[in-house]
Amino acid sequence: MKTLKVIGIAILLLGFGMGTVRSQITQPKVKPKVNLPVKLPTAFDKIMYDLDHGTCYEIAVVSLQLNARNQQRTSFGKEARYGLGSLFKSGNELKSVLPLEIGIKQTPHQRTVQTTVRLKKNGKTVTLDIRNSQYYHLIYDVKIIKKKNGYWLMAEKDHNNETVSFIFAIYKTDCLI
């Protein structure tokens, strides 16, 4: 009888042991990993990808500067600028070197300066850097907007009683070999 009790107790303990093992298998205490949302490429990323894969782009700029005081570098308190150039990839930035027409047409103040335009991405923000022999502008947190016929970028800067606004158009063009 003692052996029967020992066997019964052993079977009972084995049953409880199997139940706890089964409950540990079916109910894990580890939390499942949550997948983060996929980041969609920005307009800047799309242009970089296209340039890497053989698509060519041009950039056009139109700018207006209004000045409360009449200074030497502006014609009669206002100055219009426009230019056109090829856009290429330089490391992790978009770059263009273009001739920028400055001043008012058909006056002695009209001139052309070589201007470098750089677009650089830091995280989610895009920085615009415009430089030539006469001035430079560094504008942070610029938005590149995708439109049906290309990309548009608008920026404005107030400094020293003057306001400068820029409009850039980035569009696909035929590649020259």
The domain segmentation of the chain, as residue ranges, is: 42-167
> Has residue 30 got a pLDDT over 60?
yes
The neighbour count for residue 130, using CB atoms within 10 Å, is 22
How sure is the predictor about 62, in pLDDT bands with cuts at 50, 70 and 90? very high
Tell whether the model's pLDDT for residue 9 goes beyond 90: no
Q: What is the DSSP letter of 140?
A: E
Mean pLDDT (the chain, rounded): 80
Mention every residue, 6+ apart, whose C-beta is less than 8 A from residue 177: none
| pTM greater than the 0.85 cutoff | no
Give yes or no for a contact between 149 and 170, defined as CB atoms under 8 angstroms apart.
no
Q: pLDDT value at position 106? A: 58
Residue type, 30: V
What would the mean pLDDT of 136-158 be, rounded to a whole number?
A: 90
Whether 71 has a pLDDT exceeding 80, the answer reads: no
**Helix or strand holding residue 151 (H, E):** strand 150-159
Cα 152 to chain centroid, rounded = 13
Smallest Cα–Cα separation from 7: which of 38, 111, 146, 15?
15
What pLDDT does 35 receive? 74
Band of the pLDDT at 79, cuts 50, 70, 90?
A: confident
pLDDT band with cut points at 50, 70 and 90 for residue 75:
low
Give residue 69's Cα distance to chain centre: 35
Does residue 27 surpass a pLDDT of 60? no
